[in-house]
């Protein structure tokens, strides 16, 4: 009997939840990232709901970009009304727009006289527009940075962070050797080498700072002497200089790198802007001991940084588009962007935040962030980027795993890229 009642109750509950429609002012926002970042989003969303009388609901996504993309694609392909809003990695927008998953924002922008001049023209024009329409707006811009231990550099007689890769290697080899006498887990340089999108950002930085490139005359390029040299350098960091952990290619992503540096186990770290606030938080063993700088470059070339970042888009299938647009205005407002910078250390998507004199005084590193942003390089902006990236991830990671030489990896990769390009350009 009890079992029967339980089954009936479960059935009623199922009916109630499956028929549930969103109330007028309710909408979902799907956001992922490091756990602390998502916690801060919850606070922002609570503020928004209090101010607006709308009911935005945060749906927590995974930490890493590849899984976030997968979970969004499943809902969008099924034309689900959820999510209404989501953050998109800068490299997805072309594909999402081409697939007709995104609501064009032009009519809301025009209706509300909303100014897009507050954003960086080069970003809006190259990634947020597709065939003349605006499909997304920048929430924050990511850039790859070099984090370094000021205290350790000083202890070993270095007055400034390294400017060239050679300096980085020399300093890391020396300091790692000494520091390992008391901490066997200490590494000279940690960066993202696992087989995922983050590896491509690192690869892009290594190749462009060696004078290489991924785009040449509108074609995607991998097999050039400068690119091979850069990949060999990445390989050398693990096997020749031995200043990067041997498991770099198996599991090391942003959070692994952040934790290792934050626990005092690394001299140099390549990471995005979000790591700063966490390193400087109470409880961090490197609080007050760190600096940030542009990533090093090969002698004779310049520093570069991969342009990352997250942009907000609205689903074509949302049934509460006006409320969703209201939330977009909220998160791209000066006030919210300022809060994101102060609390999670994100590089604002709006230009006016970088020029605000009060903020510049309060956060001196804003000047460095702006300079690095000006030297940032984009990944190819194409609708089939995910397929190209997947091929790159495989070959670059296989080389780091010592399964293929740098020259052969890039030769084979070029063949794959040509194949993928031919398939997609035909359509
Ligand atoms: C960061 C960047 C994003 C990049 C990702 C790679 O989240 O903002 O653009 O694709 O890292 O892991």
Whether pLDDT at 37 is above 80: yes
Residues in the chain: 427
User: Is residue 296 in contact with ligand 1, taking CB distance under 6 Å?
Assistant: no
User: How many whole angstroms separate alpha carbon 415 and alpha carbon 198?
Assistant: 22
Nearest protein Cα to ligand 1, atom 3: 308
**Ligand 1 contacts CB of residue 29 (under 6 A):** no
Q: At what angle do helices 334-344 and 321-331 cross, to 10 degrees?
A: 60
Q: Where are the alpha helices (DSSP H) in 297-333?
A: 321-331
State whether the beta carbon of 312 lies less than 6 angstroms from ligand 1: no
What does the mean pLDDT of the chain come to?
93
Best probe residue, ligand 1, of 197, 270, 347, 379 (max atoms within 8 Å of C-beta): 197
Least confident of 12-26, 214-228, 328-342, 358-372: 12-26
What domains appear along the chain, each with residue ranges and CATH number?
2-142+308-367 (3.40.190.10), 145-306+380-426 (3.40.190.10)
Q: Is the CB of 197 under 6 A from ligand 1?
A: yes
* Confidence band, pLDDT 50/70/90 cuts, at residue 8: low
Q: pTM, whole model, 2 decimals?
A: 0.92
pLDDT tens digits for 55-68? 999 999 999 999 99
C-beta of residue 204 within 8 angstroms of C-beta of residue 221: no
The atom number, within ligand 1, closest to the CA of 89 reads 9
pLDDT of res. 48: 98
Which positions ≥6 away from 377 have C-beta within 8 Å? Answer: 204, 205, 208, 304, 305, 306, 307
Binding site membership of 205 for ligand 1 (Cβ less than 6 Å):
no
Task: Indicate the pLDDT class of residue 216, thresholds 50, 70 and 90.
Answer: confident
- CB burial of 74-92 (b: ≥16 within 10 Å; e: otherwise) equals ebbeeeeebbbbbbbbbbb
User: pLDDT tens across 62-85, in order?
Assistant: 999 999 999 999 999 999 999 999
Find the 308 Cα to ligand 1 centroid distance in Å.
Answer: 5
Contact 167, 296 (CB under 8 A): yes
pLDDT digits (tens, 9 = 90+) for 290-319: 999 999 999 999 999 999 999 999 999 999
Ligand 1 touching residue 274 (CB < 6 A) = no
Ligand 1: distance of its center to the CA of 306 in Å? Answer: 9
Q: Of the ranges 6-20, 95-109, 326-340, 393-407, which one carries the lowest mean pLDDT score? A: 6-20
Q: Is the pLDDT of residue 12 over 70?
A: no
What is the pLDDT, as a whole number, of residue 20?
Answer: 46
- Residue whose Cα lies nearest atom 2 of ligand 1: it is 308
Q: Ligand 1 atom 1: the closest Cα is on which residue?
A: 308
């Amino acid at each position: 009997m009890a079992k029967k009642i339980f089954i009936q109750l479960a059935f009623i509950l199922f009916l109630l939840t499956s028929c549930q429609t969103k109330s007028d002012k309710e909408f979902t926002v799907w956001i992922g990232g490091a756990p602390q970042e998502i916690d801060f989003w919850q606070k922002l969303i609570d503020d928004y709901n209090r101010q607006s009388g709308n009911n935005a609901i945060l749906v927590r996504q995974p930490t890493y970009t590849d899984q976030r993309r997968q979970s969004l694609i499943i809902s969008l392909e099924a034309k689900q009304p959820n999510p209404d809003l989501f953050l998109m990695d800068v490299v997805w927008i072309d594909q999402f727009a081409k697939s007709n998953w995104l609501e064009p924002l032009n009519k809301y922008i025009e209706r509300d006289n909303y100014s897009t001049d507050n954003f960086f023209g080069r970003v809006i024009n190259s990634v947020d527009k597709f065939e003349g329409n605006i499909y997304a707006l920048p929430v924050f811009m990511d850039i790859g940075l070099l984090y370094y231990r000021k205290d350790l550099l000083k202890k070993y007689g270095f007055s400034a962070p390294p400017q060239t890769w050679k300096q980085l290697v020399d300093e890391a080899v020396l300091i790692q050797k000494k520091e390992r006498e008391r901490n066997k887990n200490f590494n000279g340089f940690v960066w993202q080498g696992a087989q995922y999108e983050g590896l491509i950002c690192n690869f892009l930085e290594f190749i462009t700072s060696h004078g290489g490139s991924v785009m040449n005359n509108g074609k995607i390029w991998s097999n050039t002497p400068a690119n091979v040299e850069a990949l060999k350098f990445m390989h050398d960091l693990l096997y020749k200089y031995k200043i990067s952990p041997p498991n770099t290619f198996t599991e090391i992503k942003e959070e692994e790198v952040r934790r290792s540096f934050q626990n005092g186990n690394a001299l140099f770290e390549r990471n995005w802007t979000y790591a700063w606030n966490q390193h400087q938080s109470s409880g961090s063993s490197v609080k007050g001991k760190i600096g940030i700088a542009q990533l090093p470059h090969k002698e004779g070339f310049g520093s570069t940084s991969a342009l990352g970042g997250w942009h907000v888009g609205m689903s074509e299938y949302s049934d509460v588009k006006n409320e969703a647009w209201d939330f977009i205005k909220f998160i791209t407002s000066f006030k919210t962007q300022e809060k994101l910078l102060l609390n999670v250390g994100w590089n604002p998507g709006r230009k006016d935040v970088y020029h605000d004199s009060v903020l510049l005084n309060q956060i001196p590193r804003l000047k460095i962030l702006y300079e690095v942003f000006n030297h940032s390089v984009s990944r190819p902006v194409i609708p089939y980027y995910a397929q190209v990236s997947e091929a790159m991830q495989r070959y670059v990671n296989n080389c780091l795993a010592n399964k293929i030489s740098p020259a052969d990896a890039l030769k084979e990769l070029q063949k794959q890229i040509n194949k993928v390009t031919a398939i997609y350009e035909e359509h």
